[in-house]
Amino acid sequence: MGMAGALETLCGQTYGAEEYGKLGNYTCCAILTLIAVYLAMQFFKH
């Protein structure tokens, strides 16, 4: 929830400033980071 909440704040501010290129960049980086964290958690779970 923490990472998704941070993304919500950043995207809201970026959308309000009409910087749509950064909006896509933040979203893409957040998705990749969440996937990396998920995979690391699955690896260390065993």
- Residue 19 is given by DSSP the state -
The reported pTM is 0.71
- Residue 17 is given by DSSP the state T
Angle at 3 between CA 14 and CA 28, to 5 degrees: 55
What's residue 1's pLDDT?
65
What's residue 46's pLDDT?
67
- Give mean pLDDT in consecutive 10-residue pieces for the chain, a chain of 46 residues: 81 91 91 92 85
Dist. CA 3–CA 17, nearest whole Å: 21
What's residue 5's pLDDT?
83
What's residue 44's pLDDT?
87
